[in-house]
Amino acid sequence: MWRPSTPLHMMDIKNGYFLIKFQNKLDCEKALSEGPWTIFGKYLTVQPWTMAFDPTQAYPSVVMAWIRFLALPNYLYNRKVITEIGKLIRKVVKLDMNTDSRARGHFARMVVYVNLEKPLVSQILINGRSQKVEYEPLYTICFHCGRYSHVENLCT
């Protein structure tokens, strides 16, 4: 998936978390910046190590996720404008290559940071018009309460 230029060291620590040590800084930057990564249809969250990391927590509180804005008006297809629209959700990490090059006009696609401890933003207002926000597969999301860790039919 990453094809590092030098070997990396990986250690299973707990709760499905792994500590990965890259020998090459560029390999590490690629793993951090070119995601989010998916394996068998599920997100692989890659984050830099911090002292606040708690491996006993069942899932990370903030992840990168792909989002889409369907049927945006053509005049909004501008890198700066689309990035500002994405910031209404959370910090934008990157635009999809086809969105950035205007090769795809059906929807704008980007990666944003998503706080899984808060309800997901399902729509935003753009020039007084409601715009739906689609999240690409974030498994175990409850679309009733908008929280991560359970699905709608198990919502209490």
Residues 108-145 as b/e (b if ≥16 CB within 10 A, e otherwise) read bbbbbebebeeebeeeeebeeeebebebeebeebbeee
List all residues 6 or more positions away from 102 whose beta carbon is below 8 Å from its beta carbon: 77
Give the pLDDT score at 103: 64
Alpha carbon distance 34, 57 (integer Å) = 25
In this structure, the dihedral spanned by the alpha carbons of residues 62, 50, 35 and 91, taken in order and rounded to 10 degrees, is 50
Considering only the top CATH level, what class is 62-154? Answer: alpha beta
In this structure, the dihedral spanned by the alpha carbons of residues 26, 32, 35 and 36, taken in order and rounded to 10 degrees, is 170
What does the pLDDT profile of the chain (156 residues) look like in tens digits? 889 999 999 999 888 889 999 999 999 988 987 877 878 777 788 888 888 888 888 777 788 888 999 888 888 888 899 999 999 999 998 888 776 666 666 788 898 988 888 888 989 999 999 999 998 866 556 666 666 656 566 676
pTM (two decimals): 0.68
- Domain boundaries along the sequence of the chain: 8-34, 62-154
Give the pLDDT score at 114: 87
Closest C-alpha among 146, 141, 136 to residue 38: 136
